[in-house]
């Protein structure tokens, strides 16, 4: 039997603060899943759910013997690979029984060399004509300055995401509906060990260790 037949592939993306094209990511995962024998999952380093540790938890619970993490970055993104390693180390250290054997988790080589071959092939392609209208670049609605009474910035950097920032962000956004409070996810804010972090503007208050229960209370406060 092929030693990789029971191995799960986890495609790890690094979204921008504005998000990631989830449909394209799902299509990639489905295409890969149709060609490999083991399960294929998607994880995110930061900003989006599920996090790398959350996916590893699910695979470990399913008895998956081995996991290969594939950083989705061309050219190679050193930040992505470094923080994947740290996320895995944190996951191992946080296990109920760190000494218990779990999946053999490894990281794949970067995609730069493979991508270069693909780009060379594309150089001879005809390409797709661009037909998008320029009007979509400057919607009149984007000229309206709508300043909220309160603005809560939720850190969704790699450490805060592992600490539960996804659930915190969802709870804040839900509780803020219909109020004058705006909730916005952002990148790393710095004191990662105190996460999930929320910074309140305009008064500049920093809130640490904000779990979903605290998030709902925070969002419902009135100035």
Burial of 142 (0-12, 13-18, 19+ CB in 10 A): exposed
pLDDT of residue 196: 95
pLDDT under 50 in the chain at which residues? 1
Closest CA to 13 of 38, 50, 39: 50
pLDDT of residue 1: 37
Dihedral of CA 7/77/166/17: which sign?
A: negative
Q: Where are the alpha helices (DSSP H) in 67-162?
A: 78-93, 112-122, 158-162
What are 192's strand-pairing partners? none
How do residues 58-94 score in pLDDT, each as one tens digit? 999 999 999 999 999 988 899 999 999 999 999 999 8
- All domains of the chain, ordered by start, with CATH? 7-117 (3.40.50.1400), 146-220 (3.40.30.10)
Closest CA to 167 of 180, 159, 156, 157: 156
């Amino acid at each position: 039997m092929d030693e990789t037949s029971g191995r799960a592939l986890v495609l790890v993306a690094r979204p921008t603060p504005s998000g990631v094209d989830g449909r394209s990511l799902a299509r990639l995962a489905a295409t890969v899943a149709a060609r490999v024998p083991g399960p294929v999952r998607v994880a995110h380093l930061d900003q989006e759910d599920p996090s790398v540790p959350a996916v590893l938890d699910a695979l470990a619970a399913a008895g998956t013997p081995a996991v290969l993490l594939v950083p989705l970055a061309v050219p190679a993104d050193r930040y992505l690979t470094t923080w994947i390693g740290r996320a895995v180390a944190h996951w191992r250290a946080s296990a109920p029984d760190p000494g218990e054997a779990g999946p053999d988790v490894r990281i794949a080589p970067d995609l730069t060399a493979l991508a270069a071959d693909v780009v060379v092939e594309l150089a001879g392609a005809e390409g797709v004509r661009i037909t998008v209208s320029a009007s979509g670049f400057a919607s009149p609605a984007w000229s309206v300055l709508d300043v909220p009474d309160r603005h809560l910035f939720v850190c969704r950097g790699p450490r805060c995401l592992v600490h539960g920032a996804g659930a915190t962000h969802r709870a804040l956004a839900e509780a803020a509906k219909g109020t004058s409070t705006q909730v916005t996810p952002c990148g790393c804010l710095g004191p990662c060990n105190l996460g999930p972090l929320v910074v309140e503007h305009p008064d500049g208050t920093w809130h640490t260790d904000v779990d979903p229960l605290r998030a709902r209370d925070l969002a419902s406060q009135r100035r």
